[in-house]
Amino acid sequence: MSALVIGGFRNGSLEPGVLEAISGAMLFDGEVRLFLYTKESVASIQERVKGLGLKAVSVLAVNGDFELAWDEVLGAIGEVLNDAVSAVVLPADAFSAALSPRLAFKLKVGIVSDCTGIVKEPGKIRMLKAVFGSKAVAVYEMNTKPVVLTLKKGAFEPCMEKESPGETIFTMFESQVAPAFKLVEVRREDAGEDKLEEARVVVSGGRGMGSAEGFSQLKELARALGASVGGSRAAVDAGWIGSSRQVGLTGKSVRAEIYIAVGISGASQHMAGLSSVKKIVAINSNPEAPIFEAASIGLVADYKQLLPLMIESIKKGAAEGLVV
Amino acid sequence: MKIAVCLKQILDPELPSRVFEVDEGTKRPRYGEHPLVINPFDENALEMALQLKESDASRELTALSMGGEAVEEVLRKALALMLDKAVLIKSGEVDLDSCQAAQLLGECLKQTGPYDLILFGRQAGDWERGQVGAMVAEHLNMPNINNVYKVEPGESGEATLWRDLDGEIQKIKGRLPMVVTATNSPSNVLRSPKVKNIMQAYSKDIMEVGADEPVPGLKRNGQAKIVDLYKPERKTVCEFVKGDSAQELADNLIKKLCEMEPVKII
C-alpha cells in the first residue's frame, strides 16, 4: 500500500500545501511517494525533501510554464501510478482544481475536492468536506482504488522533518507532452499591499455598503484602526475593492483576531472564509441578518452615520490599546 | 464559431443557515419551497458568452442545463438574455456524481456540437466540487483552464485568456477548442434581461435530450458516495451594543473593541 502526493516545486521550495498533503497521505497506511513537477534541479529538491520520510520522489521536468503544467503532469501520471497506490493526494489550489478532476475521470476513480478531514474507521476511510457554502458538512466514502483527494488549505498540519527519515529514492524524467497553454504576462493586482490572510484586525464590507463612497469610509476606518481591508464577493463584483481582497469560500480565508463586518449579510459563502477568525463584530442595519448568528458583538445601525463618528473618536484616541 | 455555456441550477446560496435543513432519510438537503437559482459562477460564464456575442454577432451561443423539469427556468432566463439555443438534459431525479454528470453532459455536447469554446463556472455553490468542467474536457479530449474571467478568440483558432488567482492576474494564450471555467470579476457580472425578451423567451424552443435512454457507458455509480450530511454546530452568542444616539453607539462599540480578549494589539 502507498499514497501518492502530487505537488509543485519552485523558487527552491515546495508549493504551499504540499507539506499538508504529505501529512494527509500519511493517514493512509503505508509508504508515501511524492510526484513533483518543476523547472528546477533535482539537487535543490533533494536537499529540501530528504528529511520528510518519503519512500520515493519522482521529479517531472516540465517543458512549458510551471503554472500551467497540468497537462504535462497528467501525461506523465503513468510513470508514478501503480496498483499499490490507494490514494492520490493534492493541495486544494487552482492547479489541482484543473488537474485532479481530469485525473480521477481518466482513472475512473472517485474524487473528493477540498477535504477538511480524513477519518479512519475499522476497514474504511471517510472524507469530510464543507458543502452548500459551509452550511453543511458531507461525509464521503470511497469504493475505488485509488481515490483522489485535494486537501483544503489549513485543514491539515504540515509534515515535519523526521528524526530518522530513512532513504528516499529519487528519479527524474522529462515531460513528453506539449503544454496546451502559454503564459504571456503575469502581474499582481495587490503588489505592495498588506497580506489580508495575516492581518490581526480586518475591516470588511459587503453589498450593504451601497456605493464606492461608502466603501471609502470603510477604508478610512480600517486606516484609523491600523486594520486590513476585505470585502465580500458582492463588493468585489461591484468593483469597490480588488479580487485579492475577497474573503470567503472562493476568496481568502482570514485568521484575524477581530473581523469587523460592515453591511455584510453573512451568506455562508462569505462565512466560510471566517472559520479561523477569533471574534466577529457585525454592523448591519438589518437585525435579522444571518451575520449576527456568528458574531460575538453586534450593532444594528446604518453604517453611514456610525462610521464617521467612529473614525473621529478613534482619531481622538478613543481606541488606544487597540490600534496597532 | 459555436460557444456552449453549461448552467447548473442550485439551491439559492444566499439561503440563511438557520432555514437550511438536512433530510435525515436521504442525507440530502431538504429543498422544500426554497428558491433555486443559476449557480453564481455559471452566471459569470454566461456573461462572458454574451460579451463574445456582442463583439461578433456571428458567434452562436447555446445554453445547456441538466436536471429535472425545474431547470427549464434556467434555460428560459438564458433565452431571455438572447442566447441562440437552449438544451435541457434530462437526468431525471437520479443523484449523479461528477463523473456521471460529466459523461452525460459530454455526450450531449458531442450531440449538439461540436463547440469551439465550452464555458462553465469554476464551482457550484451546492456540493462545491468544481469537477465537472475539467472532467468534460477529459471526456472530449480538450484542454481545460480554470479561474478565467475574460476570453478573447483571435485569429486562426487562437484565444487569449485572462485568469485571476486571488489577485495574481495571468494573461494566457491557447488554442480552441477548449473548456474554460469562469471566476467572478467586475467585468463579468451577469446583466439583466430586457422585459420584452423575458416575455418572448417563453415562446422559444428548448431542445430536450437524454430523455429516455441512459447514456451508454454511464455505469460509474457510487464512486464518491455521500454517507452523511450534517449541519456544523454554532456556539456563538451575539452581544448587541446599545446606545441612545449614533455617537453613543459609536463610543460603546469602540469601548467594546478595546476590551476584547485576546486582542490588546500593541
Across the interface, do B254 and A313 touch by the CB < 8 Å criterion?
Answer: yes
- Inter-chain residue contact A295 with B238, CB threshold 8 Å: yes
pLDDT value at residue A29:
79
Instruction: Convert the pLDDT of each residue in B179-201 to its tens digit.
Output: 999 999 999 999 999 999 999 99
ipTM of the complex: 0.90
Which residues 263-292 in chain A show a CB within 8 A of chain B? 265-269, 271, 278-283, 290, 292
Lowest average pLDDT, out of A71-85, A109-123, A166-180, A186-200, goes to A186-200
Which residues in chain B are closer than 8 Å to A296, comparing Cβ atoms? 236-239
**Which pLDDT band, with edges at 50, 70 and 90, does A133 fall under?**
confident
**CB–CB of B167/A186 below 8 Å?**
no
The cell for A179 is 503544454
What amino acid is encoded at A287 in this protein?
Answer: P
Question: What is the C-alpha to C-alpha distance for residues A105 and A72, in angstroms, rounded to an integer?
Answer: 16
| Chain B residues touching A101 at Cβ < 8 A | 98, 102, 129-135, 138
Q: pLDDT band at B218, cuts 50/70/90?
A: low
B32 by Cβ neighbours in 10 Å (0-12 / 13-18 / 19+) ranks as exposed
The Cα A161–Cα A183 span in angstroms is 35
B17:A144 CB<8 A: no
CB A159 within 8 A of CB A52: yes
Nearest CB among A99, A105, A290 relative to B102 is that of A105
What is the pLDDT at residue A321? 60
Which three cell numbers, joined as nine digits, stand for B128?
462545491
Chain centroid to CA B234: 28
For residues B27-40, average pLDDT:
93
Band of pLDDT at residue A101, cut at 50, 70 and 90: very high
Identify the pLDDT of residue B22. Answer: 95
Cα separation, A121 vs A102, in Å, equals 29
CA pair distance A114, B169, nearest whole angstrom:
23
With an 8 Å Cβ cutoff, are B266 and A321 in contact?
yes
Reported as half-sphere exposure (CB side, CA atoms, 13 A), residue B207 has a value of 12
Query: Is residue A89 within 8 Å of A20, Cβ to Cβ?
Result: no
Q: Which pLDDT belongs to residue B97? A: 85
pLDDT at residue B257, as a whole number: 86
CB B168 within 8 A of CB B47: no
Instruction: Round to the nearest angstrom and report the end-to-end CA distance of chain B.
Output: 60
Residues B117-142, mean pLDDT to the nearest whole number: 96
Contact call for residues A28 and A125 (beta carbons, < 8 A): yes
Average pLDDT, chain A: 91
Q: Quick one: pLDDT band at residue B219, thresholds 50, 70, 90?
A: low
Q: What percentage of residues in chain A have a pLDDT greater than 70? A: 98
Q: A261 and A293 in contact (C-beta within 8 Å)? A: no
Look up the pTM and report it. 0.90
Q: Is the pLDDT of residue A210 over 50?
A: yes
Query: DSSP letter at A51?
Result: G
Instruction: Find the angle CA(B225)-CA(B226)-CA(B229) to the nearest 5 degrees.
Output: 175
Give percent helix, percent strand, percent coil of chain B, each to the nearest 5.
30, 30, 40
Return the closest-CA partner of residue A40 out of A70, A66, A18, A10. Answer: A10
Q: What is the DSSP string of A147-195?
A: EEEEE-TTSSPPPPPPSS----EEEEEE--S--SEEEEEEEETTTT---
pLDDT of residue B56: 96
pLDDT at A324 over 80: no
Q: Please give the torsion angle defined by the CA atoms of residues A8, A181, B134 and A97, in that order, rounded to the nearest 10 degrees.
A: 30
Rounded mean pLDDT, A236-244:
91
pLDDT at B227 over 70: yes
Interface test with B, best of A112, A126, A299 (most B CBs within 10 A): A299
Residue of chain B minimizing CA distance to A150: B129
**Separation of alpha carbons B63 and B2, rounded Å:** 11
CB contact under 8 A, B97 and A110: yes
> Which pLDDT score is estimated for B236?
78
| pLDDT at residue B223 tops 80 | no
> pLDDT tens for residues A25-61?
999 878 999 999 999 998 999 999 999 999 999 999 9
Phi-psi region of B34 (alpha: psi -120 to 50; beta: other; left: phi over 0): beta
Amino acid present at A192: G
Does the pLDDT of residue B87 top 70, yes or no?
yes
Residue A210 three-state SS: coil
Name which of A311, A208, A307, A316 is nearest A266 in CA terms.
Answer: A208
At residue B262, does pLDDT exceed 60? no
Please indicate whether, in this complex, the C-beta atoms of B227 and A141 are within 8 angstroms of each other.
yes
- Please tell me the predicted confidence (pLDDT) of residue B264: 46
Q: For A252-271, give one letter per residue: b (16+ CB within 10 A) or e.
A: bbbbbbbbbbbbbbbbbbbb
CA A147 to CA A312: how far, in whole Å? 56
Secondary structure class of B165 (helix, strand, coil) = strand
Mutation pick from B18, B48, B144 vs chain A, by most beta carbons of A within 10 Å, is: B144
Instruction: For residue A306, give the nearest of B99, B160, B249 by CB distance.
Output: B249
Which pLDDT does position B266 carry in this prediction?
Answer: 38
Nearest alpha carbon to residue A88 among A122, A62, A124, A113: A113
